[in-house]
Amino acid sequence: MLLTDVLARNARLYGDEICLVGVNPELKEKREVTWREYELMETDPHNCSRREMTWRQFDEGANRFANLLLSRGLGKGDKVAILLMNCLEWLPIYFGVLRAGAIAVPLNYRYTAEEIEYCLKLSDAKALVFGPEFVGRVEQVLDHLPNFDPRFFVGSDCPTFAESYRELVSDCLASPPKVPLSAEDDAAIYFSSGTTGFPKAILHHHASLISAAITEQAHHGQGREDNFLCIAPLYHTGGKMHWFGSLLSGSKGVLLRGTRPQWILRTVAEEKVTIVWLLVPWVQDILQAIDQGEIRLEDYDLSSWRLMHVGAQPVPPSLIRRWLQVFPHHQYDTDYGLTESVGPGCVHLGVENVHKVGAIGKAGYGWQTKIVDDSGAEVKPGEVGELAVKGPGVMKGYYKDPEATAAVLKDGWLLTGDMAYEDEDGFIHLVDRKKDVIISGGENIYPVQVEDFLHRHPDIKDVAVIGLPDRRLGEIAAAIIQVKRGHSLTEEQVNEFCLALPRYKRPRKIIFDTVPRNATGKIDKPALRRKYHTEDLVRLQTET
């Protein structure tokens, strides 16, 4: 069974049930508008604070878009790029691409015009679906892609260089197209998060996508009564692959546009959400808002909320311990994954292992793991090496980059680039990205370990540790610290706190600044290196 088959099954069994709710709290604060969608989306989605969609409407919307693509000569193997903010149209468009036999190419909504052009060219995309937020950037791109067509616009006030998605799909058949699909057919190209430069194009087949749904439901037991809150961007594998578990169980999902703590808690209360996947910055913001009295938990009925899980980046154990103090009735879980392994779940902690907070877990459902040295040999328990994973969601490869593919795929095993070790109970602990390891005076310093330590300080909201050039030691560890709002902290206080660390692990430089994170919650260390490496290199040259 493929994902597209699961959607058809849900439409057949649960056609009149609500499957997706779109919530835009920013508009709700401007005016109270509730609009229920029964047929096609004839109201501008950007003017509605809450919208609903049934399984039948979802299925028919996917069919209509698939038939539109086929009518334009797009089909098996053609790439269709999607550049949209989270909205109710997003998933029907994605499934429509799959049903046409084409390959979906989701794009990061934070991309600049240059990055959009790069990804369109790299993926060989022939068509683009985009929203009103991207008109200016898309118009710049078209100057360099004059023959790029068709271009479908989702929203009102369609620009002259595009066609109205809603007007076109209203004239298309709602019946499924007769396009044969197999598990081994190419399905989607996702882009790496791009924190090391321009992103890589990662190709997955249909088997990868359905495997993500199966793994997710096996981990979190979604049933028909569940309601999943999706806050993460749908262009990324993380949030969407977690929602795949809801698709498999035929349960409801809520797409929340916005990450303010009050919006998250209000949406959980009003929509009776049961499962929430959060990124580390959102967890930090919610706890800080509670600690500072900006949120009173008694104002929200959160009794439906059964599970909170976190992923996409290393999770400070102290942060989760604090969460469980505030929300003692929540189950907690963490999932580890990467875009090359079709998102979250290749390593999984498990709600029954909350005593192991700090570990990322063991091999996920249907997956295998091992930790290897530079020669590919497995290391002993307790020794640090590179984490490798093997399972049904491993990518086919980097699109049009066989050299990069060969560097990370070895006999079916995917080298993740993450350094890790296995403890005495078989649980895997991340220590850092291989490329982020700091070598200072011949000693390996793993920034995540130092970051986890600093996160314990009550005045620190966020922290990033990077290596900076040093004439004597080669590199030194520098800690960029973001202090909690309303708190104060000095360099001397941080240094005193760090006396509990081994001497070689202590940061040699303390910098107070905002810690930048990308849309998936990962610390943007390249941006910090660009900013502070330059300053230190200038200093070294001046001293010389």
Written as six digits, the tokens of 172 are: 């298309």
Q: SS3 for 454? A: helix
CA distances from 52 to 14, 21, 67, 87, 407 (A): 15, 5, 23, 11, 45
pLDDT at position 311 is 75
The whole-number average pLDDT for the span 192-204 is 75
> Of the ranges 161-165, 211-215, 500-504, which one carries the lowest mean pLDDT score?
500-504
- Residue type (1 letter), 294: E
pLDDT at position 281 is 82
Give phi and psi for 511, each to the nearest 5. -125, 130
User: Does residue 255 register a pLDDT over 90?
Assistant: yes
pLDDT at position 270 is 96
Confidence of residue 407 (pLDDT cuts 50, 70, 90): very high
Residue 31 vs residue 332, higher pLDDT: 332
Confidence of residue 538 (pLDDT cuts 50, 70, 90): very low
The whole-number average pLDDT for the span 225-236 is 94
Confidence of residue 535 (pLDDT cuts 50, 70, 90): low
pLDDT in tens, 105-148: 999 888 889 889 999 999 999 999 999 999 999 999 988 887 78
pLDDT at position 537 is 47
CA distance 420 to 389: 12
Q: Is the peptide bond before 150 cis (omega within 30 degrees of 0)?
A: yes
Percent of the chain predicted with pLDDT > 90: 67
Q: Looking at the domain 3-258, which fold is it?
A: Rossmann fold (3.40.50)
User: Does residue 320 register a pLDDT over 50?
Assistant: yes
pLDDT at position 442 is 65
pLDDT at position 111 is 86
The whole-number average pLDDT for the span 156-164 is 94
Confidence of residue 441 (pLDDT cuts 50, 70, 90): low
User: Does residue 335 register a pLDDT over 50?
Assistant: yes
Q: SS3 for 106? A: strand
pLDDT at position 213 is 96
The whole-number average pLDDT for the span 170-185 is 96
User: Does residue 30 register a pLDDT over 70?
Assistant: no
pLDDT at position 37 is 39
CA distance 295 to 268: 14
What sections of 221-362 are H helices per DSSP? 237-249, 261-271, 280-291, 317-326
Confidence of residue 41 (pLDDT cuts 50, 70, 90): very low
pLDDT at position 434 is 76
- Count of beta carbons in the 10 Å neighbourhood of residue 146: 7
> Of the ranges 143-147, 215-219, 538-542, which one carries the lowest mean pLDDT score?
538-542
Q: Looking at the domain 438-543, which fold is it?
A: GMP Synthetase; Chain A, domain 3 (3.30.300)
pLDDT at position 14 is 98
Q: Under 8 Å CB-to-CB from 429, ≥6 apart: which residues?
A: 358, 359, 360, 420, 421, 422, 423
Residue 457 vs residue 196, higher pLDDT: 457
- Which CATH architecture group holds 306-433? Roll (2.30)
Q: Across the chain, what does the average pLDDT equal?
A: 89
pLDDT at position 542 is 46
pLDDT in tens, 200-215: 899 999 999 999 999 9
- State the number of CA atoms in the 13 A half-sphere of 467 facing the CB: 23
The whole-number average pLDDT for the span 20-46 is 58
Segments making up each domain of the chain, as ranges:
3-258, 306-433, 438-543
The whole-number average pLDDT for the span 520-542 is 68
pLDDT in tens, 60-113: 999 999 999 999 999 999 999 999 999 999 999 999 999 999 999 999 888 889
Angle between helices 3-14 and 237-249 (to 10 degrees): 40
